[in-house]
Amino acid sequence: MAYRVLIAQFMHETNTFSKLPTTLDDYRRTWLVYGNELGERFRGTRSEIGGLLDAAETYGWTLVPALAANATPSGRLTAQTWRTIRDGIVSAVRNAGKLDGICLACHGAAVTETSDDPEGELLEAIRAIVGPDLPITMTLDLHANVTERMARLASALISYRTYPHVDQHERSQQAAALVQSLMEGKTQARCLVLQPACMVGADHGRTTQPGPMRDLLAKADAFEREPGINVVSVQAGFMPSDIPNVGPSIAVSFAPGAEARAQEIARQLCQEIWDRRDEETVHLMSVDAAVARAKAHDATRGPLVIADGTDNPGGGAYGDATRMLQALIDADIRGAAVGTIFDPAAVQAAIAAGVGSTVTVELGGHHDPAFGAPLPVTALVRLLSDGTFINDGPMGKGVQRSMGATAVLRIGGVDVVTISNRLQTTDLQVFLSQGIDPKRCTVLVVKSIQHFRAAYAPIAGDIVVVDSGALCSPDPGRFAYTKLRRPVWPLDAVTVPFAT
């Protein structure tokens, strides 16, 4: 008989320093789908759920799809939001009847109003139903803040190995293959996690150039070829989250008899994270320096891509900081495009004015003017749309996304994609779907810190990453932590990676 496998997704990267609570409406703006809708939404996509759907066909599973939930990073999930998603998955497990395995797709850095470890809480609730031995894998973002509870309750924690995350499909296939092996009785699996005394490290997980993360992953790949070692996952952690276990970690899934080796592997890799903790391959520049580069840029080589990294909605920033946009306008840069500014009120004003009209608005800067005040502008309304597009990829290829009601506003020589749903700029369709050919622009500003590289590096003449002073600062000293384990580098004078 076919194995019965339940699949579910719960994704959120929570910036606990954000003023924006995460609600069910935030999930609906990205996706919150149930049951057979998972197949309708994700079959054929390069996503985790797409990978699990493909694996089910490969192995002939009888699939039990529970739900898939994803929202743009922001503040803590409200109690109701978390309860709805958690109970939806747990109820599906309880009502599924006999199950042979479970594959969960999670982020690993969620925080709610009631839990600093919702992924661990979810696993605990599921284990209370299915018992300690049922195979359960959980795929994670490589920016997961992994807890001991998560490791203790999962058969394996399998993190992405790319940043930008272009291997989501492959990691879910890896998880499915392990579940299949466990269900067939070919192996058994337990999991452990180890964390060094640092809250940042592993070059923030970057894999687009040689550096610490690539070296760590190469060693992890080699360790996975050893007998008894199922999975070795390297997590860079997610810094702007006020919980105890923020920071890099190593998770190892192992077979019976291999625990000592698994611990040795985790300790060796954590030691390397510690030894190379201050190595970084990307350094952020000032807004003024980026504008100087824009003035001097030769656009015949391709556009200058300016990543407004500290206003990255993918890290929980508001996506409406205005310093970079203001600087482009002040410098009279021509042929530029900004993707995006989050300002639903400005979009509604543009809709009321209509395409071809001018509109005067206070653009952006509404959530925290300290990151750039609202800009009083008079703009030409170039285009209006519902903001829906399908990712070209490579990241999330085939997945439908929505910026909500969207207006393209031209201010001087700058086209601003102004949106109603916060969204990180990871795909060329952010511009293409709004009638802007990014290849023909002189300058592109993207609200992203790293993910933009998958789609934008191939068309860029040059790339710079900017610190515009917004919420996603790379400096932990700019945040007031109250729950973080201490001492921890770089906030404290720590000299050894592990407590004695």
Are both 425 and 297 inside the same structural domain? yes
Are both 230 and 367 inside the same structural domain? no
Q: How many residues does the chain have?
A: 500
Are both 230 and 313 inside the same structural domain? no
- Single pTM value for the model: 0.96
In a domain, 483, yes or no: no
Q: Which of 251, 276, 301 is the last residue of a domain?
A: 276
Give the structural domain span for 432: 287-473
Are both 241 and 217 inside the same structural domain? yes
pLDDT of residue 322: 97
pLDDT of residue 1: 78
Are both 317 and 357 inside the same structural domain? yes
In a domain, 373, yes or no: yes
In a domain, 98, yes or no: yes
pLDDT of residue 500: 63
In a domain, 247, yes or no: yes
Number of domains into which the chain is organized: 2
In a domain, 488, yes or no: no
Residues of the chain with pLDDT under 70: 500
Q: Which of 276, 305, 329 is the last residue of a domain?
A: 276
Are both 39 and 86 inside the same structural domain? yes
- Per-residue pLDDT tens over the stretch 370-413: 898 999 999 999 999 999 999 999 999 999 999 999 999 999 99
In a domain, 148, yes or no: yes
Are both 322 and 264 inside the same structural domain? no
Are both 226 and 268 inside the same structural domain? yes
Are both 13 and 150 inside the same structural domain? yes
Are both 119 and 256 inside the same structural domain? yes
Q: Which of 225, 253, 276 is the last residue of a domain?
A: 276
In a domain, 479, yes or no: no
In a domain, 487, yes or no: no
Write the CATH number for 123: 3.40.50.2300
Are both 301 and 214 inside the same structural domain? no
Are both 326 and 402 inside the same structural domain? yes
